[in-house]
Amino acid sequence: MSIRERISGNEAIATAMRQINPDVFAAFPITPSTEIPQYFAQYVADGKVDTEFVTVESEHSSMSACMGAEAAGCRAITATSSAGLAFMYEMLWVVSSSRLPVTLACVNRALTGPININNDHSDSMGCRDAGWIQIYAENNQEAYDNYLQAMRIGEHKDVRLPVMICQDGFITSHAVENILLEDDDAVKAFVGEYKPENYLLKHDNPLAVGPYDVCPYYMEHKMQQVEAMKNAKQVILDVAADFKATFGREYGFFEEYLMDDAEIALVLIGSTAGTAKACIDKMRAEGKKVGLIKVRVFRPFPGEELAKALENCQVVAVMDKVEGFTNEGGPLYNETAAACINLNKRPKMINVVYGLGGRDITTTDIEKIYNHLYMIKETGEVKEHYLHIGQRSNVKEVF
């Protein structure tokens, strides 16, 4: 039986962690994820979990402790944001290449510099190719639900990869929303126990973790990671199907909002989907066939499925809440464009970078983007494909 609560996204994640009762939580605080280890430390003090709570001297040490714990056969978790995730960067690669399913709660925050504590996706997107599964949430409910599914995905024998569960800093992490929590016993039954086949403290099969890979082995090692990431797609869907059967809420690689007859569409990640949906409802009432795809799973990237969902659209704007500095667009745009390149009939496509450092975006802004897409539809011409919205400038904006 679901329990209705009013809590923040950070508390929702901490609650999921408490219900799972992991073996190790290695913690170092950084805004806006600090509340997660704070809540969890209270659970430890109150005897609500059996977790070994390791306070370390840095985020690099936090991920190192998680790696050691996982290598020893433990279920290990942590939480971080922004520069904290950047400080873990080396260890992110070591953990994924060692096939250790650490689960990390990433509360997205702009990367320094300049110093900024507000939300964009530059931290997790900066680690997008580190071999971690990445799943993003629109709201507090999704943050909680995604975390409950994470360990089932990462620990699966055909995957064995670390998982990053992302939510938007302050927008969801600190905002209080009504959500449904599940019963502790039901969560434990759904997530299950962690029973790795091989680990360092297993007496009868000595092994090495994170060894030096000479050139005759390194590429084969990487190909094993590639295959694991491919396998993760089906595992993500299987876990989501079981989650729906158990708790009634449905998830996939992405959510389609009024896409059945959409002529033009947006593709984006995270909490901005709520703003876009409000704009879509208004424009639909005016008779305009607009739609949205909210990407939930960024790694592994669901390219084939996303391309199929977009193939009947005429014009698409892919919105990135991070600057890629490529002069060709942000990471979500580049992935989406690559996925659509071989479609026999593909939409015209532009990139819109927005919200950097927490810059607000409104339904009016979203409507401007849709109107720009309608202009492209009518003229058949894309004058610029790499645009920004919301910045102050002496140059007149396109929108």
Give residue-wise pLDDT tens across range 295-306: 999 999 999 999
Do residues 310 and 337 touch, judged by C-beta distance below 8 A? no
Q: What pTM was estimated for this model as a whole?
A: 0.97
pLDDT for 395 equals 72
Same domain, 338 and 382: yes
Compute the distance between CA of residue 18 and CA of residue 51 in angstroms, rounded to an integer.
Answer: 9
Residue 399 is predicted with a pLDDT of 67
Quote the domain boundaries for residue 351: 254-388
Q: Is the dihedral of CA 393, 394, 398, 399 positive or negative?
A: positive
Domain boundary among 222, 247, 272: 247
Q: Which SS3 state, helix, strand or coil, does residue 254 take?
A: strand
pLDDT, residue 121, reads: 98
Burial category of 1 from C-beta neighbours within 10 Å (exposed 0-12, middle 13-18, buried 19 and up): exposed
Cβ proximity of 344 and 370 under 8 Å: no
Helices (H) and strands (E) in the chain, counts: 13, 15
Kindly state whether residues 238 and 302 are assigned to the same domain: no
Supply 321's token pair. Answer: 């809440």
Structural domains counted in the chain: 2
Q: What is the pLDDT of residue 1?
A: 80
Q: Are residues 317 and 224 in the same domain?
A: no
Report pLDDT for 201: 85
Same domain as 363, residue 227:
no
Using left for φ > 0, alpha for ψ between -120 and 50, and beta otherwise, residue 77 falls in beta
Task: Please check whether residues 296 and 180 belong to one and the same domain.
Answer: no
Distance (Å, whole) CA 151 – CA 190: 10
Of 247, 266, 293, the domain-final residue? 247
CA distance 303 to 308: 9
φ/ψ of residue 311, rounded to 5: -65, -25
Q: Are residues 147 and 279 in the same domain?
A: no
Question: Looking at the structure, do residues 134 and 215 belong to the same domain, yes or no?
Answer: yes
For tokens 């607000």, name the residue.
Answer: 360
Residue 327 amino acid letter:
N
Angle at which helices 215-247 and 89-97 pack, to 10 degrees? Answer: 90
Q: What is the CATH number of the domain that holds 102?
A: 3.40.50.970
Asked whether residue 308 falls in the same domain as residue 368, the answer is yes
Name the stretches of the chain with pLDDT < 70: 396-397, 399
